[in-house]
Structure 1
Amino acid sequence: MSRLLGRSLAALTLVAALGLAGCTGGSPTPQPSTPTTTSAVAPGGDAATASPDATASPTPAPSATSEASQRLPLFTQTVAAVWTGPNPVSGRAYIDALTTAGFDKAAMQVTADQSTIGNAAESIEFAVRIGDQCLVGQVGPSIGDPVTAVLPGLSAGGCLIGQTRAIDW
């Protein structure tokens, strides 16, 4: 992957993450309670306990969006651990570490570690789809510190645009 393309992807990821972050402000929307005590995640990320109320409709289950947001810290921590390890630009190292951390390997994508002419990739991307959202990471010498974000999934499925490699190990 060329340096320009790698930087462009990093910039695009950052812009998308900042754009999504701007969508999370505002007041929390009240949720109806259920006949039993349940726990839900408020937009700020704090757990809130609903009071029992036999006349209210059931609270919907937490959305995939909130699940992806809740799992971002673990995703980021796992990526950081691999980045400081012996194989910082190895897609397999990230996929294996994320699988060990409890992410679904069947829902993952990763780009190639080498360019089409056999040079080491200047950056690699990897992602885990959770519902209609994706946890996306990008690392490499052209990126600097690892970048992670929750981004919308592609309408056709998956998370990454372009050529990805098979996760067949």
Structure 2
Amino acid sequence: MTPPVVRRTGPFAVSAVVFAASAAVALGLAGCAGAPAPSASPAASTAVAVPSPAPTASAPAAIALVPGGTAEQNLPYFDQVNHATLAANPNAQGRDFIDALVAAGFQKSDMQVTVDTTTIGLKANSIQFSVRMGDTCLIGQNGADAGGYWSEVVPVLSTGTCLVGQTRAIDW
């Protein structure tokens, strides 16, 4: 039985609503109090229907290097590695990125990195690093001038490299 809808205006409106709600709860509980307790007989079933959990969407596939894959296929993994590098060291430099990418399975011989310092010895405002993958490149950049970390996939330059300008030897 549902309680009647009470509509009142004036100073006693809230009190009437609270009273009606309290009465409905009390009536509902009173109905439970008078119910007989279940008997414990061997023939009585004690099974309780438990709804099965709703199916969930499958977990996303793990991001991993796609050996022999394209730069586009490997961009999510490239980003994952570089974000992890920055999480471990927010001041990561070129070597930190290269070492992390090599440890993650990218080929060092396909990489380029810019210098970490300016020609007068100051910290570079941003560094770029790349991995050539066939006829495309994964390019990452990090630094104040870059607005933090960013990446993209670009075609290989006519020089056969990925980065424009001076890069440093990856000889470690």
Q: Give the TM-score normalised by structure 1.
A: 0.59
Residues 89-110 of structure 1 show CA distances to partners (whole Å, capped at 9, x for unaligned) of 4100000000011111000000
Structure 2 unaligned runs (5+)? 1-67
2:165 aligned with 1:155: no
Q: Residue 135 of structure 2: which of 129, 132, 138 is its match?
A: 132
Cα distance in 1 between the residues matched to 2:153 and 2:70: 10
**What's the secondary structure of 1:84's corresponding residue?**
helix
Structure 1 unaligned runs (5+)? 1-64
Q: 1:89 to 1:121 in 2, by over 3 A?
A: farther
Q: Work out which structure has the larger RCO, using CA pairs closer than 8 Å and 6 or more positions apart in sequence.
A: 1
**What's the secondary structure of 2:139's corresponding residue?**
strand
Q: Residue 117 of structure 1: which of 117, 120, 130 is its match?
A: 120
**What's the secondary structure of 2:154's corresponding residue?**
strand
What is aligned with 2:171?
168
Distance apart, 1:82 and its partner CA? 1.2
Out of 138-147 and 126-135, give the one that drifted further.
138-147
Q: CA RMSD in A?
A: 1.9
Aligned length: 106
**What's the secondary structure of 1:134's corresponding residue?**
strand
Q: Give the TM-score normalised by structure 2.
A: 0.58
